[in-house]
Amino acid sequence: MSSDVLLETRGVTQRFGGLTANSDVSISIRRGEILGLIGPNGAGKSTLFGAIAGARVPTAGMILFEGRDITRLPAAERCRLGIARTFQVPRSFDSMSVVENVMIGAFVRHANATMARAAAYDTLDFVGLGGRAETSAGQLTPPEKRRLEVARAIATEPKLLLLDEVLTGLTPSEARLGVELVRKVQGRGITVVMVEHVMEIVMQLVERAIVLNLGQLLAEGAPAEIVRNEAVIAAYLGDRHRAA
C-alpha cells in the first residue's frame, strides 16, 4: 500500500442471499482528498460505505486502513482508528441537547466529561451550530440535523470521514454552506468520501470520483473525465447530460 493511500478495498464482495450488492470492488482512497462515490440507485454505494465503516463484514475481499487489515473489525474499533460516518437519514438523540449529542462523539477521544464538552462546543462552532448548543436536538431543522451529524462525526477526530448524502435535499443557499463546510473539513486534514446524487454539487466539490453500477466499479477519475465517460452517461447521467 502506497504511503499516500489511506484506505484500500481489495476485491470486496457483499452478497445478501442471492443478491450481490458489491462485486469485486477494489478502490483506493488517498490521504487528504475529497472523493465522490456516485452511481444510480441500487448501485451498491451504501453497501460499500457500510463495509468501510464496519456495519457489516464483506462476504469476500479485504479492507485495509493505513496498511492494517480492518476487514473484520467492529465499527467502534474502526472509529477509534479514525473512521467516522454520517447516515443518509440523520440520526440524533432528540431528547438530549445539541452539545450532548456531539459529546457522544467526543468521548471517543476524551474520557473526561469536561474535556468532551469543551471539544463538542469547539466542533459546533466549526460547523456553524454554536448558537444552538443548548437547544434540544429534536428542535433542529432538517439541514441543522445534517450538520449535527457531521459535528458528532468530526468530534471523534477522524482521519477519514464518510458523508452519506449530507447535501441532498438542501436549498441552493444551504447547499453552498454545505460545500463550504466540506472544504473546511478537508482543510483540517481530514479525508472525505461523499455519496451524493446532486451532480452539480459533486462535480464542483470532489477531486476524484468513483462510479459504481450494479455493484461493480464502472469508472473512476477526475470529474471532467467522469462526465464525458460514455459508460457513465449510459448507466447514470443519461442522454440529456450528453446533450448538455
List of domains in the chain: 1-76+195-244 (3.40.50.300)
The label of the residue with cell 477522524 reads 158
Q: E strand or H helix at 3, and its extent?
A: none
Distance (Å, rounded) from C-alpha 225 to C-alpha 44?
22
* Entry pTM: 0.93
Q: Are 58 and 71 in contact (CB under 8 A)?
A: yes
Q: Are 132 and 116 in contact (CB under 8 A)?
A: no
DSSP string, 22-45: EEEEEEEEETT-EEEEE-STTSSH
Note the pLDDT tens digit of each residue in 80-129. 999 999 998 888 999 999 999 999 999 999 999 999 999 999 999 999 99
Does residue 27 come out as left (phi exceeding 0), alpha (psi in the -120 to 50 range) or beta?
Answer: beta
Please give the pLDDT value at position 243: 45
Note the pLDDT tens digit of each residue in 26-35. 999 999 999 9
Distance (Å, rounded) from C-alpha 55 to C-alpha 37?
18
